[in-house]
Structure 1
């Protein structure tokens, strides 16, 4: 099963303490799911590589979907996600990203229609 954002319940021993294979859980020590892997992107002497735009968009959508799923579970007070929860988080992410694209497109259009410094009432941006 997937460990989304480290929220998967950990197996417990008979004494009620977390059981992690091969490791002891010390206070203040991060869980295995919270540890960051060593970065191989920027090696000394080499420039850091960036993701292609299509991959970056998918990664951003996946991150947003995971954050929304975590928020749904937090609001509902649950620790396990159902398939419906995951599908809802994906649908919400799609809607939010579509709205963001529309807003960016409108802002670019308004800036092109009336260049800065020309007369007229100031533009009002809605939140």
Structure 2
């Protein structure tokens, strides 16, 4: 056939199936991984798990920002804003998760 950049196509080898007039079995692609089920990492160190959670949240926030604005491309400002929002949301979540000592409950027990 044609030479393209000095390369030639490889000659086709006749297989037994081809020579006998039979078709080779169809190649079946591997099953797709179901992306709807969240995968949890086995045993990540806490620092790595925090970074992974922040990256997932940041990506979700960036996608939401682009969807709301009706755009298909993100700017650097969009990415930085999504990262800042992810940091703020995770900081609030950590703050809510830590047990707070209620000063109002202590006031009621004085008497």
TM-score tier, shorter chain, comes to: 0.5 to 0.7
Return the match for 1:91 from 84, 91, 94: 84
Q: CA RMSD in A?
A: 2.8
* Runs of 4+ off more than 3 Å: none
Count the aligned residue pairs: 70
- Give the deviation of 1:52 after TM superposition: 1.1
Give the match for residue 68 of structure 1: 61
> Gaps (5+ residues) in structure 1?
1-34, 38-47, 121-127
Q: Deviations over 1:89-114 (max 9, x none)?
A: 00000111111111112xx1248xx7
What is the TM-score normalised by the length of structure 1?
0.47
Larger radius of gyration: 2
Query: Structure 2 CA distance, aligned partners of 1:110 and 1:49?
Result: 33
Pairing 1:54–2:47 present: yes
Q: How does 1:101-120 map to 2 (within 5 A)?
A: 101-105=94-98, 108-110=99-101
- Give the deviation of 1:77 after TM superposition: 0.4
